[in-house]
Amino acid sequence: MTSIKDVAKAAGVSTATVSRVLANNAPIKAETRERVLEAVAQLNYRPNLIARSLRAQKSAKIGLVVSDIRNPFFTAIGRAVEDAAYEQGYSVLMCNTDENPEKEELYLNLLHDENVAGVIFSPTQQFSAASHSYNAKMPFVIIDRAVESKETDMVLLDNVSAAYELTTHLLENGYRKLAGLFGDASTTGQERSRGFHKALKDYQLNPVAAHFISPRIKQGYDTTIALLEGTNRPDAIFTSNSLLTAGAFQALRDKKISVPNEVALVGFDETTWSELVDPPITVIAQPTEEIGRTATELLFQRIQEPSRSPKTVILKGTLLVKGSSKKK
């Protein structure tokens, strides 16, 4: 492998000069620079990033820690983060925690040991309490799920308002017997449940049901089946994430229930399928591209200026009204 020494020799300069040309962090005579660059091209030299990282005590990598990249929300975030990082010459280490605090800790340690410049991170609930201890170790941006610590940069959705708006939409369209399915793995589910209840309260109603369940298609399916078979069948189902929405939709279809006439269905996240199904699903679309990009930018800012005072960016969701929530 050709190293900086080879380049130095070929260009007739010291390794220091080569380094300075390449990192361009010092004045260099134009003629020398040219000679060095020539040698670099000639030898097809590529700096060893590991060595650079070791000596400079930093790297051009960031970590992305989410529960599961297969969740369309995180897929989109992941892509946006990767794009934003790429533009700055950074690459992204992808980590799936499966909502498992142990895996989460393992990955955070790993990222730390890998000397990543920073981490974009959607934490489990258990993590929240311990967040401050990690905070010191490396730059952090929390996405999607609030943590208690106020010392952390965050990019969040205004979940309460979004859920409130979505629920109100159901109520305005005449639905009265609402059931809510909320993911139990994150603070997101809790916040959305709060908006849900708040809207109902405005109408002086109680929910028919409100379940906190594991955010998986199967759980959404099972719970919906139970609701539909129960004595007090809801006329509208509110789901707090797209996996639950998918499960609920499947259950409604299998039970041959007409949506939205018998039962309405609403949820979060615009997915490929949410408008392909019949009827298309009314959802709160999250600005995933913007979340990912903002988080990455915030992270870069913190990397540059670690003592900068923390910023929380709260973005708004967009209500997309489709066929699943308006009686004909």
Partner DNA sequence: GGCAAAAGTGTAAACGATTACATTATTTAT
Partner DNA sequence: ATAAATAATGTAATCGTTTACACTTTTGCC
246, 269 contact by CB (below 8 A) = no
DSSP string over 155-189: EEE-HHHHHHHHHHHHHHTT---EEEEEESSSHHH
Q: How far apart are the C-alpha atoms of 188 and 190, rounded to whole Å?
A: 5
Q: 9, 15, 158, 315: which one contacts DNA (CB under 7 A)?
A: 15
Query: Of 72 and 180, which has the nearer Cβ to its own copies?
Result: 72
Query: By rule CB under 8 A, what string of x and - marks binding of each residue 243-282 to its own copies?
Result: ---x--xx--x-----------------xxx--xxx----
Q: 23, 129, 226, 314: which one contacts DNA (CB under 7 A)?
A: 23
Instruction: Give, in order, the Cα–Cα distances in Å from 12 to each of 31, 35, 61.
Output: 12, 8, 33
153, 118 contact by CB (below 8 A) = no
Q: Pick one of DNA, its own copies, none as the site partner of residue 125 (Cβ within 5 to 8 A by kind).
A: none
228, 265 contact by CB (below 8 A) = no
Contacting its own copies within 199-238 (CB under 8 A): 217
Q: How far apart are the C-alpha atoms of 184 and 240, rounded to whole Å?
A: 10
Q: Does 52 bind DNA (CB under 7 A)?
A: yes
- Classify the phi-psi angles of 269: left when phi > 0, otherwise alpha if psi is within -120 to 50, otherwise beta: left
Query: Of 25 and 232, which has the nearer Cβ to DNA?
Result: 25
Q: Does 49 bind its own copies (CB under 8 A)?
A: yes
Q: 15, 53, 100, 126: which one contacts its own copies (CB under 8 A)?
A: 53
Find the angle CA(298)-CA(304)-CA(310) to the nearest 5 degrees.
45
Q: 32, 88, 131, 161: which one contacts DNA (CB under 7 A)?
A: 32
Query: Of 208 and 246, which has the nearer Cβ to its own copies?
Result: 246
Instruction: Give, in order, the Cα–Cα distances in Å from 195 to each of 115, 164, 191, 325.
Output: 40, 4, 7, 18
Which one-letter DSSP state was computed for residue 203? T
Q: How far is the CB of 325 from its own copies (least distance, A)?
A: 17
Query: Of 31 and 278, which has the nearer Cβ to DNA?
Result: 31
Q: Pick one of its own copies, DNA, none as the site partner of residue 257 (Cβ within 5 to 8 A by kind).
A: none
Q: How far is the CB of 114 from DNA (least distance, A)?
A: 12
Query: By rule CB under 8 A, what string of x and - marks binding of each residue 71-100 to its own copies?
Result: -x--xx-xx--xx--x----xxxxxx----
Q: Does 59 bind its own copies (CB under 8 A)?
A: yes
Q: Pick one of its own copies, DNA, none as the site partner of residue 15 (Cβ within 5 to 8 A by kind).
A: DNA
DSSP string over 64-77: EEES-TTSHHHHHH
Q: How far is the CB of 98 from its own copies (least distance, A)?
A: 9
Query: Of 165 and 289, which has the nearer Cβ to its own copies?
Result: 289
227, 182 contact by CB (below 8 A) = no
Q: Which stretch binds DNA (CB under 7 A): 18-26, 92-100, 104-112, 160-168?
A: 18-26
Backbone angles phi and psi of 194, in degrees to 5: -65, -45
Q: How far apart are the C-alpha atoms of 328 and 316, rounded to whole Å?
A: 29
Q: Which stretch binds DNA (CB under 7 A): 40-48, 203-211, 212-220, 299-307?
A: 40-48
Q: Summarize as ranges the residues that interact with DNA (CB under 7 A).
A: 1, 3-5, 12-20, 22-23, 25-29, 31-33, 45-48, 51-52, 54-57
